[in-house]
Amino acid sequence: MKAFVIVSLLLLGVAACSPVRVESTSQTPSVDFTAYKTYNFLDVTARNEAAFAGGSGLGIDHLKQAVAREMERRGYQRADSPDLWVNIGVVSEQKTQTRETTIRDAPRYIGQRRYHWESEQVPVREYTEGTATVDVVDAARNERIWQGVAASAIGKDASKLVERINEGIAAMFAQYPVLPR
């Protein structure tokens, strides 16, 4: 039992250090996900693919490859007339990382009366955050049955971006109702 607790804490620590975070997953209740056998991707060229490229030259194809890998691990086969449609949405946003000042950042006391110090947010760096949304849609009913959302900082290094995509999609699909085979 003690070893289980230690291993669990180590895994939790590794997961907490991950640069990718799964924002949310949701599913439609009372849907039998094992009844579906095939999948394919909806055309996403009209979506925000240009924003995801992030200067690295990578498109949505890496996301599709990662999602396809996870779907096929769960026994789904790609087909032209699928049971499930997979829709991928991508958004990127410029963000500013800040830190809060501490009393050590305050100017030294120089004898003025009623001196006080207030904490404030100081900008540290700017970065781009990418958010990928994967919707799984029942093709016959045209109804979304599962959704996963993951986010991560997007850098200029293409190999790290591919690594984060694979890691994010794997973490997202870890919460999918059908386990890998």
* Domains of the chain from N-terminus onward: 21-100+121-174 (3.30.160.670)
Q: Which residues pair with 24 in a beta bridge?
A: 149
Q: What is the mean pLDDT of the chain?
A: 80
The pLDDT value recorded for residue 80 is 95
Q: How large a percentage of the chain has pLDDT more than 70? A: 73
pTM of model > 0.85: no
Per-residue pLDDT of 15-46, as tens digits, reads: 445 689 999 999 999 999 999 999 999 976 54
Say if residues 138 and 145 touch (Cβ distance below 8 Å). yes
- Nearest alpha carbon to residue 136 among 47, 59, 36, 50: 36
Q: Taking CA 88 as the corner, what is the angle to CA 180 and CA 47, rounded to the nearest 5 degrees?
A: 170
The pLDDT value recorded for residue 50 is 52
User: What is the CB neighbour count within 10 angstroms for residue 88?
Assistant: 20
Of 8-22, 24-38, 90-104, 152-166, the poorest mean pLDDT is in 8-22
* H-assigned helices in 17-122: 49-53, 61-73
CB proximity list for 9: less than 8 A, separation 6 or greater: none
Query: Stretch 154-175: mean pLDDT, rounded?
Result: 90
The pLDDT value recorded for residue 181 is 87
Say if residues 132 and 168 touch (Cβ distance below 8 Å). yes
SS (H, E, C) 153-175: EECCCHHHHHHHHHHHHHHHHCC
C-alpha gyration radius of the chain: 22
